[in-house]
């Protein structure tokens, strides 16, 4: 059993920054990819970003490339999402995820979600 606990959401002005954290506990397996999905009002949940165990392979949705950066600290079983130059269209509930090939739209485990709101 794996639990994902995420934090770092909040309200920020356009152009500002936030950093999300996701800590994994339980028997994840070191091979697990971690990342985030998000769900905006009136839209389905969408893939945002993922990172593999070594950190050598990352994938970003086109909408966040150049603004978001994902990293991980395997000693702490934690992934981080640095979000810079936030835009109102980034407003969504962000869900941490863990599992193989998250970029294909499937996750084995989910965090509880954290609200990110960006105002102009």
pLDDT higher than 90, residue 26: no
Determine the Cα–Cα distance for residues 105 and 46; give it in Å rounded to an integer.
7
Better-scored residue on pLDDT, 77 or 96: 96
User: How many angstroms separate the CA atoms of 32 and 62, rounded?
Assistant: 23
Confidence of residue 30 (pLDDT cuts 50, 70, 90): low
How far from 5 is each of 66, 95, 96, 110, 114, CA to CA, in Å?
26, 10, 8, 9, 10
**How many Cβ atoms from other residues are within 10 Å of residue 50's Cβ?**
25
Mean pLDDT of 91-101: 94
């Amino acid at each position: 059993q794996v639990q994902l606990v995420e934090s770092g959401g909040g309200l920020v002005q356009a152009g500002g920054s936030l950093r999300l954290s996701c800590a994994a506990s339980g028997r994840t397996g070191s091979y697990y990819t971690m990342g985030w999905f998000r769900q905006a009002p009136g839209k389905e949940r969408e893939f945002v970003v993922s990172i593999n165990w070594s950190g050598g392979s990352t994938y970003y949705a086109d909408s966040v490339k150049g603004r978001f950066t994902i990293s991980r600290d395997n000693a702490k079983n934690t992934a981080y999402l640095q979000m810079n130059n936030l835009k109102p269209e980034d407003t969504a509930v962000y869900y941490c995820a863990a599992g193989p090939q998250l970029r294909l739209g499937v996750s084995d485990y989910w965090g509880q979600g954290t609200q990110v709101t960006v105002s102009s």
